[in-house]
Amino acid sequence: MVRDKGKPREANAMTPVTPRYDAVIVGAGFGGMGAAIQLDRMGIGNYVILEREDDLGGTWHVNRYPGLAVDIASVTYSYSFEPNPYWSRVFAPGAELKRYAEHVADSYGLRARMRFDTVVEGARWDEDAHLWIVRVRGGEPLTARYLITATGFLSQPKMPDIPGIDTFAGKVIHSAAWDDDYDLTGKRAAVIGTGATAVQLIPQVAKKVAELTVYQRTPIWVTPKIDRRIPPSVQRLFARVPLTQRLARLANTALLELIMVVGVLRYRQARITNRGAERMARAHLRRQVRDPEVRRKLTPDYSFGCKRPTFSNNYFPTFNRPNVHLETAPIARVEPDAIVTADGRVTEIDTLLLATGFNLWDANFPAFEIIGRTGRDLGAWWRETRFQAYAGVSMPRFPNLVSLNSPYSYSGLSYFTTIEAQMAHMARLFGEMKRRGATTFEVTEAANDAFLDRMTTKLGDSVFYLGDCASSRSYYFNQHGEAALLRPTSTVDTRREAGRFPLSAYEYA
């Protein structure tokens, strides 16, 4: 160990160790930026934001596929304290989200504290020095009093393990690594996957290619998207009278809450709402697709909400096009110039588009090795016991770690409701630290256990356990069949608890 400032050294009662940073934040997406803004609000300004990509924005920097847009209305899918009156549409296109992220970074002075192309390989709590040592690929380790991970939920692209896929001789593009220079015009393309990404991508691809075959394993529930251009007069109104946009946000958030809380989390008490959502989606499909056989194939056989539903007006009609084919036979293998299904049919293609999503449970919880007190390895502990995190942010034996993308952390449908609740949790926790003059916090085993018990009990009312989810193949479920991603409380409760959790849930030193 090196002994100058910024480097860990042996603790000594006479010489407290000063870390290089108050905090290291990992991830320069909306979660990491929210945490950074919160730290600044609390007067903790000596932090660095490490980002593996070459620019900020997280999902909205990485994803650039055609058709990319939010599928949560922009008035809600943004920080409540930094409204953007100038969204061009009710559901803004992806490029606007990227610009909004840049605007936030510049407005809050975050950019200067970001380090791009910086891959964090691991972090270890130094029990003697009371600091985190963060290993960075190709660089010196960094030391920090606090570690805040904001590595996203959907940030590790999943490549399908289909036999022969490596032998494909044509162009392969994953939706999360779009090749802007590749011209789809006249191509014979295949899309694998029919999740929320594919729902946005397929209509755009279909317009360009000669032939498109969509390989669907599990259909997705799709409801209408009430999207339209926001005229300049309304944008001016939002800018001049911010209350009007706040009201629009409130109305939209209430609608999302109805879908998520009443339809999904309170399934036991409100099956009727869930059935209503299913009926709406079925009617949407009936209105939009002519061929009854195609309609049948596009109809999910699992309950609404078991996997994330989406909103679209142009996905279903794409299957009416003569150049678009829906294939539901399982893929047996990929050959250099074709996809072969289990029934032996061969479809020749030159372009393979993978809308196959992300690996959450194997690769993302956590996104890099984190070793806490007494050598507890977070990934191993989660897998050997249960996926768990107090209030979705902290774990016993991981002092001074705020883990924003944790089990039971995601509350509501818009990620921003989660981010802002977590910011409120940080405000209360760090406020108490300051009041006590403490430098270390750690959630107690008892608080963590009680939270996990409460989440488990509440989930018993949800569609995940009472509905028919067997065939949904939903990333809401982990490898043990537990729906451990979403927090089964209303966003109102999540927010309230973040501002009022018992301070005794933590030990301070």
Q: Which range binds ligand NAP by CB under 6 A, 25-33, 215-223, 426-434, 500-508?
A: 215-223
Q: DSSP letters along 28-93, please?
A: -SHHHHHHHHHHHHTT---EEEE-SSSSS-THHHH---TT-B-SS-TTTSS-TTS--TT-SBSS-B
Contact 337, 346 (CB under 8 A): no
327 lines the binding site for ligand NAP (CB under 6 A): no
196 lines the binding site for ligand NAP (CB under 6 A): yes
Single-letter amino acid code for the residue at 379 = G
SS3 label, residue 167: helix
CB of 121 to ligand NAP, least distance (A): 26
Burial class from Cβ neighbours inside 10 Å (0-12, 13-18, 19+) for residue 485 reads buried
Q: Name residues contacting ligand NAP, limited to 155-174 (CB under 6 A).
A: 160, 162
Q: Which residue from 8, 29, 152, 195 is in contact with ligand NAP, where contact means CB under 6 A?
A: 195
495 lines the binding site for ligand NAP (CB under 6 A): no
Q: Could you count the other beta carbons within 10 Å of the beta carbon of residue 89? A: 15
Q: Which residue from 27, 193, 203, 488 is in contact with ligand NAP, where contact means CB under 6 A?
A: 193
Residue (133 or 162) nearer to ligand NAP, CB: 162
Contacts of 391 (CB under 8 A, 6+ apart): 409, 425, 451, 497, 498, 501, 505
CB of 191 to ligand NAP, least distance (A): 9
Q: DSSP letters along 354-384, please?
A: E---B--TTTSSSSSEEE-GGG-BHHHHHHH
Binding mask 435-474 for ligand NAP (x = CB under 6 A): --------------------------------------x-
154 lines the binding site for ligand NAP (CB under 6 A): yes
197 lines the binding site for ligand NAP (CB under 6 A): yes
Beta strands at 351-354 and 441-443: parallel, antiparallel or unpaired: unpaired
CB of 94 to ligand NAP, least distance (A): 8
Q: Which range binds ligand NAP by CB under 6 A, 211-219, 261-269, 418-426, 497-505?
A: 211-219
* Cα–Cα distance for residue pair 339/190, rounded to 1 Å: 8
Binding mask 255-294 for ligand NAP (x = CB under 6 A): ----------------------------------------
With tokens 């109809």, the residue in question is 299
229 lines the binding site for ligand NAP (CB under 6 A): no
Q: Which range binds ligand NAP by CB under 6 A, 193-201, 242-250, 366-374, 382-390?
A: 193-201
303 lines the binding site for ligand NAP (CB under 6 A): no
Cα distances (angstroms) measured from residue 202 to each of 48, 66, 288 = 39, 9, 15
* Cα–Cα distance for residue pair 228/312, rounded to 1 Å: 12
Residue (217 or 436) nearer to ligand NAP, CB: 217
What is the largest distance, in Å, between two alpha-carbon atoms of the chain? 79
80 lines the binding site for ligand NAP (CB under 6 A): no
Residue (139 or 157) nearer to ligand NAP, CB: 157
Q: How many residues bind ligand NAP (CB under 6 A)?
A: 26
* Cα–Cα distance for residue pair 82/253, rounded to 1 Å: 16
Single-letter amino acid code for the residue at 429 = L
72 lines the binding site for ligand NAP (CB under 6 A): yes
Q: Closest CB to ligand NAP belongs to which residue?
A: 195
Interacting residues toward ligand NAP by CB under 6 A: 69-72, 154, 160, 162, 175, 192-198, 200, 215, 217-218, 308, 331, 355-357, 473, 475
